[in-house]
Amino acid sequence: MWKHIFGGGKSTANPQEQPSAIDSIDRTNIPRHVAVVMDGNGRWAKARGLSRSAGHEAGARTLKRIVRAASDMGIEVLTVYAFSTENWKRPPMEVDFLMRLFDSFLQREIEELHAEHVRLRFIGRRDRFGDRFLRRMREAEDLMAGNTGMRFNVAANYGGQDEILRAARSLAARAAAGELSPEEIDEECFSNALDTAGDPPVDLFIRTSGDLRLSNFLLWQSAYAELFFTDTHWPDFTPEELASAVNDFAGRNRRFGGLSADD
Ligand code: IPE
Ligand code: IPE
Ligand code: MG
């Protein structure tokens, strides 16, 4: 476990320190699936007079810390939004920078993620990436396919509507080929045709940097997600704030359209 991130080291340095939000997590009520819109790299950089690229680099460092924290907290599935189907509209220089950053992040982190039993999977369209990155994506997925630790989905060239359309098309093709009858297409069947096949629905949907929107992320999977918005820009997001979101989630009254026990 990535104990060096928090806990051990910190309390040895200062045994009098108050328990952090991480120590106070209710481990019996952890969201199984946490989704994160990692927004605000550009605004973080601008506020410091830095380039947007520097913001994305800082965001990648934050991701590394948050993946470890989520795994240590016992979260089963973490899905992060790295690049949307709409982000191609950005200037080519920024898109190029992001692609190189994803590639080097993967190269740098793969061994450590694997050693921690994380199962990495990419969700989204594969049709616009370069060959080298595509190969690295596949190698990473193959390497970690048998891992039994936290499932870590990275949404790259991902759009919720695009994912739903691709699923609908693949089911329609199977129906047209006589492999499936339209009546068999129920919620479970449809969920299993999505890129997140096999994962539980999103319990907790976090968006950093203050905007109150979904931006086409996990539209099907978040049907009953609890939403957590914070003004913190992604590079400043900490394991402690993730723990606060998890604690906040534990206090929510989820009714799923029904009534609570005391209604
Ligand atoms: C999120 O940060 C990262 C990506 C979309 C790749 P932004 O780049 O959207 O940062 P802001 O929203 O401009 O601050
Ligand atoms: C959502 O952020 C996509 C990612 C974090 C990768 P955007 O910055 O692209 O979203 P909008 O444009 O503000 O809705
Ligand atoms: Mg943004």
- Domain residues of the chain, as ranges? 28-250
Average pLDDT value for the chain: 93
Q: pLDDT-based confidence at 247, cuts 50/70/90?
A: very high
Which residue reads 């190269």 in tokens? 107
Question: Mean pLDDT across the stretch 105-117?
Answer: 97
Which amino acid residue places its CA nearest to atom 1 of ligand 1?
A: 39
* Strand order from edge to edge, sheet including 33-37: 119-123, 151-158, 77-84, 33-37, 204-207, 226-229
pLDDT at 18 (0 to 100):
63
Distance 38 CA to ligand 3 centre (A): 8
CA of 42 to the centre of ligand 1 (A): 5
With b for 16 or more beta-carbon neighbours within 10 A and e for fewer, the 34-65 pattern comes to bbbbbbbbbbbbeeeeeebbbbbbbbbebbbb
pLDDT digits (tens, 9 = 90+) for 39-62: 999 999 999 999 999 999 999 999
Q: Which pair of tokens denotes residue 238?
A: 């900490």
Residues flanking ligand 1, CB < 6 Å: 38-43, 83, 87, 98, 209
- Average pLDDT of the segment spanning 204-216: 98
Residues with CB under 6 A from ligand 2: 37-39, 81-84, 87, 211, 213, 215
Proximal ligand: closest to the CA of 233? 1
Ligand 2: which atom is nearest the Cα of residue 83? Answer: 6
Catalytic residues: 39, 87
Place of tokens 């919620």: 187
Give the ligand with the smallest distance to the CA of 57. 1
At the fourth CATH level, the homologous superfamily of domain 28-250 is Decaprenyl diphosphate synthase-like (3.40.1180.10)
Which SS3 state, helix, strand or coil, does residue 226 take?
strand
Mutate to test the pocket of ligand 1, among 36, 37, 38, 43 (most ligand atoms within 8 A of CB): 43
pLDDT of the residue at 7: 37
| pLDDT tens digits along 128-172 | 999 999 999 999 999 999 999 999 999 999 999 999 999 999 999
Kindly report whether the global pTM for this prediction surpasses the value 0.85.
Answer: yes
Q: What is the pLDDT of residues 219-241, one digit of tens each?
A: 999 999 999 999 999 999 999 99
